[in-house]
Amino acid sequence: MRFSLSHILAPRQSPTEFFAMARALGITDVEIRNDTPNVVGTISPSEVNSAATEAGINLLSINALYPFNVWNEERRAQTEKLAAYAAACGAEALVMCPLNEGKPISPEALVEALKAIKPILIKHGIKGLVEPLGFGVSSLRHKSDAIAAIKAADGEGVFKLVHDTFHHHLASETGFYPEWTGLVHISGVADTTVSVDDMLDSHRVLVDERDRLGTASQVRALQAAGYTGLFSYEPFATEVQELAEPQKALAQSMDWLRAQVKH
């Protein structure tokens, strides 16, 4: 397995500290964010690029453009800003998340948004990673719907999917689309008291033997289907973000997951 890290797991670390932790774990690919922590809004792209170059780090993505499928002038400006930042700091892609507020968005509106985003990404030389969210209130829950919209928008070559093990489980998905998958987000849920319908980002921890999402099984299925890309740790739980030694905990999780995937 080839791992990467999302800055969400250690938001108190500066980019330089985060990049150093990744390299200490043998990881060379990371995702930065525009929320927690808000690297995009607080640090210049040239500084991020310099820190990444010095550390030997590849910037996979900026996470995230939200809500990408509600297209208007505000979203256009947001997309331009994030795409320009991504290009300037050397990030390869922009993660794109759908509206997650219990309001439906039509398939036609989804296609319209992708058609509008496509030339902006092309102009800046980056890719779009569409991440369906499995929550019941999400306006785009299933990867199959995202693929259909990408095809309708003639977006092959510009857009790919994020397969998120948490959202895959919440949406009760069974399909794996390795040829469409540009990145896999991994996390686990260990809380035995929460139902699947009530699982939230705050329940997402580092993957270990307590995991209820079947993350190891999903990884095996993706690899068996032909996926050869990265698996990016994306736990949102406060208990992970406040770890005194996140590097040690990550190393343990990585070792555990590698051992499970070999079985």
Tokens of 125: 């030389």
Question: CATH code at 99?
Answer: 3.20.20.150
User: In terms of residue numbers, what domain contains 182?
Assistant: 3-262
Our CA angle for 220, 223, 224, nearest 5°, is 80
- pLDDT score, position 262: 87
Number of structural domains, the chain? 1
Q: Which pLDDT tens digit goes with each residue over 20-64?
A: 999 999 999 999 999 999 999 999 999 999 999 999 999 999 999
Neighbours of 2 (CB within 10 A): 12
Distances (CA, A) of 191 to 65, 100, 199, 208, 211: 29, 23, 9, 12, 9
- pLDDT score, position 62: 98
Q: Which residues of the chain have pLDDT under 70?
A: 263
Element holding 160 (H helix, E strand)? strand 159-164
d(CA 179, CA 3): 19
